[in-house]
A and B are shown apart, each in its own frame.
Chain A
Amino acid sequence: MSKPTDLVQGTLDLLILKIVALEPMHGWAIARRIRQMSSEVLQVGQSALYPALHKLEQQGWIEAEWKVSETNRRAKYYSLTRAGRKALTEEAAAWERLSGAISAIVRTV
């Protein structure tokens, strides 16, 4: 089973959780939002996005619902669960710590 390779492992989970925390969203929109919010820096391949979504759903952090999309077609919308909100807080804090530590090192050297 291959893991998302274009992002640090686990970071994609954090990004997805953060994005769907704002509003329920389908896969394509999540990918687009990640691209836009990172000013086109982060590109999420579909081959990484969907396994990650299904894993998060299986873990009970996000839940899915079929709704009619803005283009009038059926799409699977993901939203954050209560457990997912807790996970997001923890993951975000962990990320802050990690990135802070890395930048501290990078800046001094």
Chain B
Amino acid sequence: MSRWLTQLRLTFRSVFRKTRVDRELDEELQYHLERQIDEGLNTGLSPEEAQYTALRAMGAIAKNKEECRDMRRVNFIDDLLRDLRYAGRTLRRSPGFAALAVLIMALGIGANTAVFSVVNAVLLKPLSYRDPDRIVTLSAASTTGDAQGPLSRQIAILDFDGWHDQSSSFESLAYYRSDETAVMPGSAAEYAQATVVSPEFFRVLAAEPMVGRSFTAEEVQKGSGAALMISHGYWQRRFAGDPRVLGQTVRMSGRALPIVGVLPPGFHFPGKTDLWRPASTISREQRGYRSRNYLAVARLKTDVALERAQAEMTSIAGRLERQYPERNKGRSVTVARMRDDMVGDIRLTLYLLLGTVTVVLLIACANTATLLLGKATARTREVAVRAALGASQRRIVRQLITESSLLAFLAGASGLLFAYWGAKALVALAPADVPRLAETGIDASVLAFTLGASVITSFLFGLVPALYASKVELNEALKHGGTRSVVGGGLGRTRGVLVVAEIALAVVLLSGAGLLIKSFIALHNVALGFRPEKVLVMRTTVPAPLRVANQFFKDMLSQIATLPGVLAAGATMAPPGNAESTSATGSYFIDHMPARPDRSNAPGAVLSIVAPGTFAALGIPVKSGRDFNDGDTFDAPFVAIINEALVRQAFPGENPIGRTIFCTFDSPKGMTIIGVAGSVRQYGPAREPMPECYMPYQQHQYNGSTLSVVARTVGNPTALAETVRSLARERSPDVPVKFTTMEARLSENVAAPRFRTLLFGVFAGLAVCLAMAGVYGVMAYAVGQRSNEIGLRIALGASAGSVLRLILGQGLALAGLGLALGLAAAVAGTRLLTTMLFQVQPNDPLVYLAVAVLLGAVTLVACYVPARRASKIDPLTAIRQE
């Protein structure tokens, strides 16, 4: 290692302190000469004789020096520096060409670097915990393999206890649950993301607070007074980073909890947590086996592989299933690395994006290669002269590669600039729930990536032109001194091949983008079953007994309904149309509740609590029967409204009104069906409507205290927010409220498809532009090559129109070939998109047809200028030129 350093230091010295090294070499040899002379004098020679003898013995001093320099590897570097200087001069001589080439490559490299910096932050960088690869998630899985709702990964504490007690693969094992909770850090209530954690949680993640301490053994005891740890972000936001935050209290569920620690800035788990508190302390956790509301994480023991842990958990789950068939039938566990688990759906999107920009880069390379080929033709004579003066082919190729490397490095440097902005844009456009997106930036691995991309691309676009240029027929080139006929046919063909490849690659991207666009439009045009326009949503939690909460909502709703500009107001526990829906699901029974209900085989439905007026506010049609009203209280007969999907499932061809439904919710009472509502897509446009049973909020204990008030307005719904907020404040200062609109919630749904579609579209557009620049270049070149032939045709009577057609036809032939190859590749490649497409098949003929038409049209545009120039060729000039 130190030897390499020595060598490097010496090489640097030889190159950068050249005069000094040369002087030292002179002095060293001079010394030798003097000693030689001294020796001669000592043996009795005269001074002249001694000097002569010594000089003869020394031999050719100049040659000697050159050899010493060679040994110091100075010449290799000298050549390189000379090549670089020469390359710099060449590029400066044609600044337009250089700028174009650098721009094209910078776009390609910049796009790659930008996407890579996101991939690096989200997928590649290790999590900022100690030994992150040993942190795993344990989630519920189905042994029957059928997909369930988005909540199906969650587990019950009962499951967790079994795993915790029986497993031996883990150092520590914890469960947690994160909710938006009402807290009072000051005098007013607000929402904060609060996570309830079991005792080993921070040991699993190996997290230490940066200020204060972790929970003590006493604080995590069941039924203890509990304590809070807060996130760095919450500390800054809520307490302005005040170090005296320790010991301050935050009110939560009616208790004042002391803050004992602040976690470091890099710690975000789970998600956007503001506050952590020990489980089973100030409130009891839900211990029923159907309360699958928790998630689990664990730290593997150092010597345990993921596969072994999975095998152990599978066998434990099997044991539990046999032991408790009623609660665990068909249920198993999946053990996954936390990073893989966190990344989830975005992985495929990001890798596809990386693939897309790689294709763009390849197109850019092909483009630059055709540019350089054009240049190579013009430089035939220069290369021939160099070859005639004795430069070897290797030496010439090296010179030309140096030139393309210089281009690539300039492009890499400018690409970094593009990437800096591009990465910012990507982060801004990406869906908000992508983990670790904020860590995106230019770091060492991103720089290494850019450097690597520059080196590889310089070979990709530089080698072919360099090899062509160096294979010059000396005699011919020197004799003609011109640009034609020397490297004609082969070169033209190479450029044609490159352009066809560009078109084919662009077609693949264009097809992918077309499919995504069509799918995105389909997603937008889905009938949701409700009207989301102009609906204000106010999430509200009343931390008080149900009767008080009921009264609060009842008063609020009647007040809001009378506000000017409000058409209807209601409240629901789960506003529809969002994949992150907070709705509950359960099974239902019609007419009577069996004595021993077989819950796992009973039909399921979404169960939701609503206030009167909700259907009108959300624009859900009530098809028959009536809406709820204020008379549907806890003391009145229990009632329910079901949707059409449930009618189809449970009452085919019958009238459900007046029948009784039992739901596995908070009460075993039967409910009389009083109405039928239209079906809505509860989980957003991508999922079909599920059967749903609506229940009035005054009749149900569960979640009557947290509802989202929905109000349909005449004008802009957000304009109403402040009025409603002050109404709520007046009524009760400890009620937190949070505003959004139905439309904003819906747009979160399509954030991921919008991101994909937009980026694919942009990159496909870039690819098509680059490919068309290539088509233009190759056609302009062809016209230049054939100018005298075309001149001859015109002289012989060809019309301008027929020349135009000739050239356009040639361009279209290239495009057609590229299109055919590209479509074949697209049919195979777009299969990767299948899981991202909605109501569109990857082989959608309409999309491919559109791609073909679009490509044909832009090809005509790209060919038109050269074709027009060809038709304007003056036959006399063209023929004279030869």
Contacts and interface: CB of A to CB of B under 8 A. Distances in A.
Interface of A: 1-2, 26-28, 45-47, 50-55, 57-60, 63, 66, 69, 71, 73-76, 81, 83
A53 B27 CA distance: 15
Contacts of A59: 3, 7
Nearest to B21: A54
B21 to A, nearest CB: 10
Chain B interface size, as a band, is 20 to 34
Nearest to B54: A46
B31 A47 contact: no
A2 B10 contact: no
Contacts of A75: 28, 31
B72 interface: yes
Given A47-B60, A58-B72, A28 B7 contact: no
Contacts of B38: 71
B10 A50 contact: no
A50 B67 contact: yes
A26 B24 CA distance: 13
B480 interface: no
Nearest to A45: B59
Contacts of A66: 24
Contact of A50 (B11, B29, B35): B29
A80 to B, nearest CB: 13
Contacts of B6: 60, 63, 81
Q: Sort A-B residue pairs by CB-CB distance and give the 6 closest, nearest first.
A: A55-B71, A60-B3, A51-B67, A54-B71, A60-B6, A28-B35
Given A47-B59, A47-B67, 20 more contacts: A26-B31, A27-B31, A28-B32, A28-B35, A28-B36, A47-B58, A50-B28, A50-B67, A51-B71, A53-B68, A54-B71, A54-B72, A55-B71, A58-B11, A59-B3, A60-B6, A63-B6, A71-B35, A73-B31, A74-B31
Contacts of B24: 66, 76
B10 A51 contact: no
A83 B64 CA distance: 27
A46 B35 contact: no
A58 B7 contact: yes
Contacts of B27: 74, 76
Nearest to A29: B35
Nearest to B32: A28
A56 B433 CA distance: 60
B71 A27 contact: no
B70 interface: yes
B57 interface: yes
Contact of B71 (A58, A60, A74): A58
Given A60-B3, A60-B6, A46 B58 contact: yes
Given A45-B59, A57-B10, A76-B24, A50 B68 contact: yes
A47 B63 contact: yes
A46 B68 contact: no
A27 B58 CA distance: 12
Contact of B28 (A27, A55, A60): A27
Interface string B60-82: 10011001101111000000000
Interface string B20-41: 0000100111011011101000
A40 to B, nearest CB: 14
A28 to B, nearest CB: 4
A59 to B, nearest CB: 7
B32 A46 contact: yes
Contacts of A53: 68
B31 A51 contact: no
A53 B35 CA distance: 18
Given A1-B67, A58-B10, A46 B57 contact: yes
B4 to A, nearest CB: 8
A53 B65 CA distance: 12
21 contacts: A2-B67, A26-B31, A45-B59, A46-B29, A46-B32, A47-B63, A47-B64, A47-B67, A52-B71, A54-B71, A54-B72, A57-B72, A58-B7, A58-B72, A59-B3, A60-B3, A63-B6, A69-B31, A74-B27, A75-B31, A83-B3
A51 B7 CA distance: 16
B3 to A, nearest CB: 4
Given A46-B58, A50-B29, A58 B64 contact: no
A33 to B, nearest CB: 13
Contacts of B35: 28, 71
A47 B617 CA distance: 99
| Residue from B4, B31, B38, B72 having most chain A Cβ neighbours under 10 A | B31
A1 B70 contact: yes
Nearest to B14: A58
Contacts of B29: 46, 50
A56 to B, nearest CB: 9
A51 B59 contact: no
B64 A51 contact: yes
B769 to A, nearest CB: 50
A87 to B, nearest CB: 10
Contacts of A51: 64, 67-68, 70-71
B10 A46 contact: no
